């Protein structure tokens, strides 16, 4: 897959020294759960991660060991060994997913997350469509769209997250990628608390294609409108199931 390096550089950047272990785990989880590194793909080496995250190799090793115990990564030995994202990722535990019978985030949290998502992702779509994209960037967004379209339900959340992150990525604004990724992690905690509806997935596929087409055609207003409509659909389901 042809990829921009912006997302990789965004996630694999120095963490805060005061919470090196926790921040390393969070950063690695983001790369996995948002689809930056896909199931079956390898993570950078311990040495490379230590340099790029600005932590010790012991910290990286302990973070990877913890993620291995949680089922997110597997270690392989030999010439082509390393640390690889698990082929099948753990499903969120019920108590991690906000729902009508849980003690998760309340309606105010939901509305805040959705409002921020609209600001960030509609703006990202407009900005992406305003740029003259390189051939690798155009290929990146097309591939992300193709992967999520008709995806298996078990893989849909990750590939959907990846497409939305790619839209932010092709804006060329690193801080925007960080903000969209952080917000998407919060959105996914809510999405994990509602069922995947077959008709909604089909509708989302249509909206994704409209969004990507507008971006690649260089139509900022159309891209922003497509993003706004798509996010409104997700917001309606979340409010319906959780509010």
Q: What CATH number corresponds to the domain at position 46?
A: 1.10.10.10
pTM reported for the whole predicted model:
0.76
Weakest mean pLDDT among 18-27, 138-147, 182-191, 213-222:
18-27
Gap between the Cα atoms of 139 and 104, Å rounded: 39
Q: What CATH number corresponds to the domain at position 158?
A: 1.20.120.530
pLDDT (tens digit, 9 = 90+) per residue, 141-175? 999 999 999 898 888 999 999 999 999 999 999 99
- 137, 202: one domain: yes
Q: Which residues contact 207 (CB under 8 A, 6 or more apart)?
A: 226, 229, 230, 233
pLDDT at 6: 67
The number of domains in the chain is 2
Please report which confidence band the pLDDT of residue 105 belongs to, taking 50, 70 and 90 as the band edges: low
Find the domain containing 173 and state its range: 98-242
């Amino acid at each position: 897959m042809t990829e921009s390096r912006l997302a990789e550089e965004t996630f694999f950047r120095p963490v805060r020294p005061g919470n090196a272990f926790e921040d390393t785990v969070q950063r690695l989880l983001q790369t996995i759960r948002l689809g930056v590194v896909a199931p079956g793909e390898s993570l950078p080496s311990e040495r490379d991660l230590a340099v790029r995250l600005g932590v010790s190799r012991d910290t990286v090793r302990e973070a990877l060991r913890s993620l291995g115990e949680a089922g997110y990564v597997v270690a392989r030995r030999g010439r082509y060994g390393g640390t690889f994202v698990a082929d099948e990722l753990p499903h969120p535990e019920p108590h991690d997913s906000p729902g009508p019978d849980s003690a998760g985030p309340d309606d105010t949290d939901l509305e805040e997350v959705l409002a921020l998502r609209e600001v960030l992702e509609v703006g990202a779509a407009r900005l992406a469509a305003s740029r003259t994209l390189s051939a690798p960037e155009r290929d990146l967004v097309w591939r992300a769209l193709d992967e999520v379209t008709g995806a298996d339900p078990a893989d849909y959340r990750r590939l959907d997250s990846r497409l939305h992150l790619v839209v932010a990525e092709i804006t060329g604004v690193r801080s925007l990628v960080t903000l969209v990724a952080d917000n998407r992690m919060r959105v996914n905690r809510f999405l994990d608390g509602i069922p995947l509806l077959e008709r909604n997935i089909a509708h989302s596929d249509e909206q994704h294609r409209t969004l990507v087409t507008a971006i690649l055609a260089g139509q900022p207003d159309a891209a922003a409108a497509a993003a706004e409509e798509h996010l409104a659909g997700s917001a309606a389901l979340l409010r319906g199931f959780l509010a």
